[in-house]
Chain A
Amino acid sequence: MSKNQHCSFKRRSFMIGAAALPLMLAMPLAAHAAPPATAAVNTTKLAVTDTEVTVGQLHSATGTMAISETGSIQAEQLAIDQINALGGVLGRKIKVIKEDGASDWPTFAEKSKKLLVNDRVAAVFGCWTSASRKAVLPIFEKENGMLYYPTFYEGLEQSKNVIYTGQEATQQILYGLDWAAKEKKAKTYFLIGSDYIWPRTSNKIARKHIENVIKGKVVGEEYYPLGQTNFNSLINKIKVAKPDAIYAIVVGGSNVAFYKQLKAAGITGDKQFLLTISVTEDEMLGIGGENTVGFYAAMKYFQSLDNPNNKKFVEAFKAKYGKNAVIGDVTQAAYLGPWLWKASVEKAGSFDIDKVAAASGGIEFKDAPEGYVKIHPNHHLWSKTRIGQMQSDGQFKVVTESPGLIEPNPFPKGYQ
C-alpha cells in the first residue's frame, strides 16, 4: 500500500468518526498506545486499514451441509466478537465477509477466489468437508491465502496455507482403539463407514492399528452409500460376527438411521461396546440420546468438559445462541481458528500471509475450551483425545483422556 492511500484511509475514517461522534474530535488518535502503522504490518495489499482488518468466513449456510457447518459459523463469529471486544488484532477490529459455499464444492472454490482476490482478506475461517477443503486448497496455495480448517479429518495433507484446528486421523483413532483394547478387552472389531474418503482412510488406519499393534482381529469391514437409510442387513451381519467392538464412522442422515435401527434390533449400550469418531453433540440432536445411551465416542472436545475455560466458553456460546444450543467437537475447533490467527499475527507483528504462516508453528493458546493447545510446525494442533460416553440427554460423560497432548502426524508411517 502506498503512502498516499494510507493517508486517504486515515482521513476517511477520521471524517466518518467526526460525522458520527463529534466528541471523538477532541480526542487525539494517539491517546491510546498507537497500533503499528498499516504500511508496516501489511506489505502485500491485504484488506487492512488503520482501524480494521477484513477476514473471510466460508461455510455452507444452505444445502445439505448446513446441518453440520452452522455450529462452526456460530463459533467463529463468537470468537471474532470476543477478540473485537478485547481491542481486535494489532489494534484493528476484525470485519467479517461471510460467503456461502452452499454445500457445493465448485462454489467453495469460486467464493474462496473471490475472498482472496477481490476482497484481499487477511485470513479465511471455513470449509467443513474434506471435499470442500480439497476444492479450495489449490486456490489458497496459488493466491497465498490463510485457511483455518476446523474439522477432524483423514490426514495425508499439509500446507503452508492451512492451519488444521481439528484432529487428524491418527490423533483421534489410535488412542481410542488402545483404550478399547485395554479397558474394554476388545479383541474383535467390526468396522463400519459411510462410503467416502474420510471413513475409508480412517478405517484403514484403524485396521492396521488393530492388526499390528493391538494384535486383535477385524471380523468385518463394511461401507454404505452416504444416503443409506436401511441398516437391517448390516445389523444381522454384526449379529453373526459377534464382535467385541463396533467401530462406526457413519455420517449424515445415515447416522440417525443407523443408531435408531441398532436400538430397534436390540443392540444397545448395555449389551454391546460401540466406539465412534463421527458422533458429536450436534449429531446427538438428530439421533436422540435415548437411542445411543452407553455407546462411546473418541473426540478431542466434549461440551461437558470440566475446566474453567470451557465453562466460560459454553456460557458465552449459550448467551449468544440460546440456552438449547449444543457444542460439538468441530464447533470448538472452529472457535480456536480466530484466536490462533490472532496469536500468530501478533507474534509475526504483521498480517502478511508468509509471516503469519511462518510464525504459526509453536503458537500456544492457553484459553482453549479443550484445554491447552499448540500449533505443530506441520500446521496441525497438539491436542488431547478424550473418550465420552453417550447419555440420554444427548451429552457425553467424559470417561478418560489421553495423559498428554498427542502429536499430530498427518503422514503416519506404517498406517498407509
Chain B
Amino acid sequence: MSFSEILNIGLMQGFAGLSLFSVLLLMGLGLAIIFGQMGVINMAHGEFMTIGAYTIYLFSQLTETYAPALAQAYFPFAIAAAFVFAFIVGWLVEWAFIRHLYQRPLDTLLATWGLSLGMQQIFRSSFGAKEVSATLPDWLMGSWAPKDGLDIPINGLFVMALTLIVTGGVLLALYKSRWGLRVRATVSNRVMANAIGINTTRTDRVTFAIGCGVAGVAGAAFTTIGSTGPTSGSLYIVDAFLVVTFGGAASLWGTVVSAFGIAQTQSVAEFFLSGSNAKVLTLLLIVSILMLRPQGLFAAKIRR
C-alpha cells in the first residue's frame, strides 16, 4: 500500500471519527437540555427524533407530488418544520404529562417509556409498519472527492455543519439569552428562582419543548445516514443517554466533550478491532470511568 493511500485512509478515518462525533452530539443535545437541565429522564427522546425523520419524509412526498421543481430545495425547510413539529408535541407532552411528575423522577422514566411505545404505535398506524425512505436532494448524496481515492461523505459534512449550528445556537441561547438565564436560575435553585419572579412552570415547558425540537432536528438530519421507520428512534436512545450521562448530566460542555471522546474511541477501535468488540471496548472504558467519576466528566458546580 502506497503512502498516499495510507494518507487517504487516515484522512477518511479521521473524518469518520469527526462525523460520528457530530452524530452523537446532535442526538445527545436535546436530551442534554431535558435530562441535564431539568432532570427529566425522557425515554421518548428517540421518538421525538422519529417525528423529525417522518417530517422529512412527509415533505419529500409533498414536494414530489405538488412541486417537483423544489425537490432540490425542500430539505432545509423540512428541517425547520421538524423542529416546529417536535417542539409542539414536546409542549403538549409537558403540559399533559411531564409537569405532574417533576417530583417523581423514576415515575417519569416509566411514563416516558410508555409514551415512547405509544408514539411508536402511532407512527406504525399512520405511516405503516414498514420503513420508508425520503427522496433526498441530489446535493446531499454521494461523496466529495477532492482527489483520487479520497471520498468524503457529503451527508457527513452536512450533519457536521448542522451540529455546529445547533450546538452553537443552544449554547448561545443558554448563556446569552433571558431564557437561558431563567433556565440556569431554575436549575440551580428552583424555589429561589420562583421567589424572585421567574415563572418556573413556563420555563420548564419551553425548555422541554426546545429539547424535543432539537431532537426533531437530529432525527431529520439522520434521514441522510439512517433509517426512517416507527422504531428508528430506539436505535439512538441508548447512545444518546450514554453521551449525556458520561459527559456529566448538568453540563452542555460535558456533552460535547463526551461525544468527542466516545466517537474517537469507537471509530478508532472499530478500525482496528471488529465491530462488536469495538463496542465492548468503548462501553468498558465508559463504565470504568463512570465508576471513578460517577457524576460524569463535567460536574456542575452547584451547592446541593
Q: Chain A: residues with CB nearer than 8 A to chain B?
A: 61-64, 66-67, 69-71, 195, 222-225, 227-230, 232-237, 239-240, 253, 255-257, 260-261, 263-266, 282-283, 285-288, 290-291
Contact = CB atoms under 8 A, between A and B. Distances in A.
Interface string B117-131: 000010010001111
A374 B142 CA distance: 44
Nearest to B125: A62
Interface in B172-225: 222, 224-225
Nearest to B233: A253
Contacts of B72: none
Given A195-B275, A239-B12, A263-B141, A233 B151 contact: no
A236 B15 CA distance: 11
Nearest to A287: B133
Interface residues of B, number: 53
Contact of A264 (B128, B132, B133, B143): B143
B131 A285 contact: yes
10 contacts: A70-B130, A224-B275, A225-B275, A230-B266, A230-B267, A232-B20, A235-B16, A264-B225, A286-B227, A290-B141
B271 interface: yes
Contacts of A232: 12-13, 15-16, 19-20, 153, 156, 267
Contact of A265 (B131, B143, B235, B274): B143
A247 to B, nearest CB: 15
A287 to B, nearest CB: 6
Given A223-B275, A232-B20, A256-B133, A62 B224 contact: no
Contacts of B268: 233
Given A66-B124, A256-B131, A233 B270 contact: yes
A71 B130 CA distance: 9
Contacts of A230: 19-20, 23, 225, 266-267
A266 B275 contact: no
Contacts of A237: 271
Contacts of B23: 229-230
Query: Among A236, A283, A290, which residue has the most Cβ atoms of chain B within 10 A?
Result: A236
B226 A195 contact: no
Query: Among B143, B156, B231, which residue has the most Cβ atoms of chain A within 10 A?
Result: B231
Nearest to A224: B275
Nearest to B18: A232
Contacts of A253: 131, 226-227, 229, 231-232, 235
B258 interface: no
A257 B20 contact: no
B132 A285 contact: yes
A229 B267 contact: no
Given A66-B129, A261-B153, A286-B228, 16 more contacts: A61-B129, A69-B129, A222-B274, A222-B275, A223-B276, A224-B275, A230-B19, A232-B13, A239-B12, A256-B228, A260-B224, A260-B225, A261-B155, A264-B143, A265-B12, A265-B143
A257 B20 CA distance: 13
Contacts of B275: 195, 222-225, 228, 234
Contacts of B271: 233, 236-237
B93 interface: no
B269 to A, nearest CB: 8
A261 B142 contact: no
A286 B130 CA distance: 8
Nearest to A394: B133
B69 interface: no
A224 B141 contact: no
A265 B20 CA distance: 14
B130 A264 contact: no
Interface string B4-25: 0000010011011001100100
B4 to A, nearest CB: 13
B124 A225 contact: no
B236 interface: yes
